[in-house]
Amino acid sequence: MKYRQLGSSALVVSEIAFGSWLNFSEGAAKENAVACVHRALNCGITLIDTANVYGQGAAERVLGDALAGIKRDSYVLATKLYFPMSRTDRGLSRAQIIKQLDASLARLKTDYLDLYQCHRYDADTPLEETMQALSEVVRAGKVRYIGFSEWPVDRIKAALAIPGTEKFIYSQPQYSLLHREPEKAVIPLCLDRGISQIVWSPLAQGVLSGKYKSGDTLPTGSRAANDAINGFFNRALLKPAVLDAVQSLQPLAATAGLTLPQFALAWVLRESNVASAIIGASRPEQVDENAKASGHAVAPELFETAEAILARATGPL
């Protein structure tokens, strides 16, 4: 596992991060989730990412159990707030930041977070109130660094311009071979302001793993086949032209000495502004495979060929 500096901070994170959105519940599923967390740590993954809204606190509770007894400074713990936790609890007001942070800390069984993130932008709360409250919890020692996810560029700039407040050190965008939107404005801005990317969905909701094939039934247990979660799935990614193009990347990955998921992760990590790519896993063996994407020097022409193949096939998604 290789490691990168996170923005302008002194914090170093693993190139591969472990995320806990879809794979945390109770019983045998919880035991498997805990096993995945432990495998991630054993693979050298230090960044563990979650959010209060994942399972309405369930993911944080499972992580709190999974990380119990593990030396606190051996991993970097990140969670988020914004989305509704009840009919009245949502957003980025000062009251919500204080309330949701304390609840997350209790579920995670820790005194502080390394990273605390605004899961989306809150247009209903004055930006100054949000940034002052985030600064308050940093100064109280409950949070080390702050970040944002999918904020409009003008709001990022406005937040960075507020005097006397903590500055963001990381952004969490969706970014993959099939979603390159951050390259237009977010990454250039962040490069200029000392902000790194911690990428979500680097495998394009599993499509870049190659497990979905044109004309085949959806694999049992896959995200696209799970009625409980596939409402979040971008069905345009399952177009035959897209799936066929993804399959045609297999020889490129093999030439690089990588599996297709590793190749897709290595493509994300080719961008110097990306500090880490978040993976999910339903089995510890998936953690092993994805962790091995770290540290590979892939010939640029292989990536350029992959980009061209997908660009021809996808069109507007």
Q: For 52, phi and psi rounded to 5 degrees?
A: -65, -35
Partners of residue 200 on adjacent β-strands = 174
Q: Are 118 and 80 in contact (CB under 8 A)?
A: yes
User: Which is it for the CA torsion 211, 212, 215, 221, positive or negative?
Assistant: positive
Residue 145 CA from chain centroid, whole number: 16
**CA 287/CA 32 separation, integer angstroms:** 12
Q: Which run of H or E residues covers position 179?
A: none
Catalytic annotation on 175? no
Q: Are 80 and 20 in contact (CB under 8 A)?
A: no
Which is catalytic among the residues 54, 82, 121, 170?
A: 54
Q: Which residue, chain included where needed, has tokens 């998936």?
A: 286
Residue 231 CA from chain centroid, whole number: 19
3-state secondary structure of 105: helix
Residues 6+ apart with CB under 8 A from 130: 92, 93, 94, 97, 118, 122, 159
**What CA dihedral angle connects 24, 25, 27 and 33, to 10 degrees?**
0
The pair of structure tokens assigned to 259 is 């599996």
Q: For 60, phi and psi rounded to 5 degrees?
A: -65, -40
Residues 6+ apart with CB under 8 A from 25: 33, 55, 58, 62
The pair of structure tokens assigned to 100 is 């949701």
**CA 198/CA 146 separation, integer angstroms:** 12
Catalytic positions, written as ranges: 54
